[in-house]
Amino acid sequence: MIRLDLTRTPELEDEGLARDVIRGIQEARREAGLAVSDRIRLRLEGISESARTALEAHQDLIAKETLATELRVGPLDRARPDGKREDTRSGWWRGAVDLGVHGVVQIALAPR
């Protein structure tokens, strides 16, 4: 007989948030026309305090899974919540991931 422990711990919920953001980053890279092997610079902005804590705790995982050579988790920095767009002046491509009760995380990425 196999028994599964289905208890949701804060640690597992934090990792789930990080994985949701990773999925959003990978979608953003595809939409920006970047190859899966391209290294990127990455900013995660406009984050609620609870999401920020979770994402900061999993920065290494996020950077590794997305090939980010530079990752900053912080306050909103000119990212706009109006959907995906390319900012050709700065070279940063922007998007967003909805984390439900944790709010929307703004993604800014650029090729390395």
26 residue type, one letter: Q
19 residue type, one letter: R
> 3-state class of 49 per DSSP?
helix
CA 15 distance to own-chain centroid? 12
Residue 1 in any domain: the answer is: no
In the prediction, which pLDDT does 86 show?
52
Residue 99 in any domain: the answer is: yes
* Range(s) of the domain holding residue 31: 10-111
Which are the contacts of 77, defined by CB distance < 8 A and separation ≥ 6?
A: 43, 45, 108
Residue 68 in any domain: the answer is: yes
Burial 45-60 (b: 16+ CB within 10 A, else e): bbbeebbbebbbebbe
Residue 2 in any domain: the answer is: no
Residue 47 in any domain: the answer is: yes
Residue 106 in any domain: the answer is: yes
Question: Distance between CA 45 and CA 78 in Å, rounded?
Answer: 9
In the prediction, which pLDDT does 91 show?
82
In the prediction, which pLDDT does 79 show?
43
If you ran DSSP here, which 8-state letter would residue 109 be given? E
In the chain, which stretches have pLDDT less than 70?
A: 76-90
Q: pTM for the full model? A: 0.83
Structurally, how many domains does the chain consist of? 1
